[in-house]
Amino acid sequence: MAKILFVLTGADHWTLKDGTRHPTGFWGEEVVAPYRVFTELGHEVVVATPGGVQPTLDPASLAPEFNGGQDGSDAVAAALQSMDPLRSPVKLEQVDVAGYAAVFYPGGHGPMEDLAVNEASGRVLTETLASGKPLGIVCHGPAALLATRGADGTSPFAGYRLTAFTNAEEAQAGFADKAPWLLQDRLVELGADFRESEPWAPHVIADRNLYTGQNPSSSAPLATEVAKALG
């Protein structure tokens, strides 16, 4: 079975346009659902974060309204509690992509704070894309692609079809006016061929070895597509 690298944000806040810090981190469902898909197939998951810090859960991701009720919230919380790799992350700066069969980036607003400007993450993304190994990225995770822009201003992801958390979803979530920048806009500026679907509906795009999901409900179907690519 394969070893899969989960790259998680190390941030516990997102700096808004007015300078205030919004508490955030990774989104629970976007870790739990893919982790379940991969581990039920017998794959091993290794978590990496900038500096090897223990990742912070966005507390909002345990709200009942985002999990189909309190039972769903309790199930996500229990799954996270039992997930040993979350408590012993490796340092992203020391990751060798050659040691993994696939790489997966969950979201949450945290990546907007740190992975969007993280050189080590940019290297991991660039090397994974070039390797041809499956690369899955969901929701706000594609903010990390912004760190792949080279000195000449271009990114190896320019021209790829992809999706991510949309401007419409950010507006409905109540953050579009507060955000220092919008992910969809930045990905378009990067040269990506951005594909948008209905807000909050599962939506997965595959282009070569890049697999992206639009929102939290896309995380399980995205992981399933990545798992299929592993064979």
Residue 151 has a pLDDT of: 83
What is the band of 153 on the pLDDT scale with cuts at 50, 70, 90? confident
Instruction: Give the mean pLDDT of 213-219.
Output: 98
Strand partners, 48: 7, 90
The reply to whether the predicted model has a pTM over 0.85 is: yes
Size (the chain), residues = 231
Is the model's pLDDT at 150 over the cut of 90? no
Structure tokens, 100: 């993994």
User: Which residues have CB under 8 Å from 228's CB, separation 6+?
Assistant: none
**What's the rounded mean pLDDT across residues 72-87?**
96
- 8 Å CB contact between 140 and 165: yes
Average pLDDT over residues 48-62: 98
For the stretch 105-139, pLDDT in tens is 999 999 999 999 999 999 999 999 999 999 999 99
Q: Given the DSSP bridges, would you call strands 3-7 and 44-49 parallel, antiparallel or unpaired? A: parallel
Mean pLDDT to the nearest integer, 205-215: 98
Average the pLDDT over 170-189 and give the result: 98
